[in-house]
Chains A and B, each alone.
Chain A
Amino acid sequence: AQSVTQLDSHVSVSEGTPVLLRCNYSSSYSPSLFWYVQHPNKGLQLLLKYTSAATLVKGINGFEAEFKKSETSFHLTKPSAHMSDAAEYFCVVSALNTNAGKSTFGDGTTLTVKP
């Protein structure tokens, strides 16, 4: 069984300040972890993924995430928020042993960036 919990449904930051979106997961097997971003009226776009090669993963648009097995966390960060970062963010877990590699989505975190 696997699950994902995004700890904040809404996060608001000022432009130029750091962003932290929190994600905890549970999985019976070695998980694969992803962050996706969804802009209004758009589909989800891959930001980054954890591949087990490195615990610190760099993604697009300056985002990165750190896999911490001991804390079962995969938090998303960005040093300096930009107005264009305002969107919905989803943390996703999948594992090889799940049926057909189906993914489990968190409920999403809405990021607001204030000028």
Chain B
Amino acid sequence: DAGITQSPRYKITETGRQVTLMCHQTWSHSYMFWYRQDLGHGLRLIYYSAAADITDKGEVPDGYVVSRSKTENFPLTLESATRSQTSVYFCASSDLSSYNSPLHFGNGTRLTVT
């Protein structure tokens, strides 16, 4: 089935550990995005990618690293996790063929940093 899949759904890690959140889409959308969702802040853009090997910072990129070697995958890495990175992370994709192309979201990864 076409869609966007995030893994894992839940993750608990310790402060200072590296953790990678995975995102895979089957639409061949050119654009992919990572958002974090926190109470009182809505959704904030961390990083986005316009195509394979093209990435750019969003609103809150510090402490995160992304890569996009293949169009369908867009992993997000926390190089040294901190408690402030406890959040729900959403991956999204869009073809952006027109400026009113919608975003398609995964079901999220709930990350807890202890």
Interaction A to B: yes
Q: Are B45 and A46 in contact (CB under 8 A)?
A: no
| Cα-based distance from A101 to B96 in the complex (angstroms) | 7
| Cα-based distance from A46 to B43 in the complex (angstroms) | 15
| Cα-based distance from A103 to B45 in the complex (angstroms) | 9
How many contacts A-B (CB < 8 Å)? 64
Q: Are A51 and B108 in contact (CB under 8 A)?
A: no
Cβ–Cβ < 8 Å partners of B100 in chain A: 32, 34, 49-52, 94
Q: Are B50 and A103 in contact (CB under 8 A)?
A: no
Q: Taking A43-B106, A45-B105 as given, write out 11 further A-B residue pairs in contact, using a Cβ cutoff of 8 Å, ordered by the A residue number.
A: A32-B99, A43-B4, A44-B105, A46-B102, A46-B104, A95-B99, A96-B99, A99-B56, A100-B56, A101-B96, A105-B43
| Cα-based distance from A49 to B99 in the complex (angstroms) | 11
Q: Are B99 and A105 in contact (CB under 8 A)?
A: no
Per-residue CB contact flags for chain A residues 18-57 toward chain B (1 = under 8 Å, else 0) read 0000000000000010101000011111100111100000
Cβ–Cβ < 8 Å partners of A100 in chain B: 31, 48, 50, 56, 96
Cβ–Cβ < 8 Å partners of A101 in chain B: 31, 94, 96, 99, 101
Q: Which of B27-46 contact A (CB under 8 A)?
A: 31, 33, 40-45
Cβ–Cβ < 8 Å partners of A94 in chain B: 99-100
**Smallest CB gap from B91: residue in A:** A43
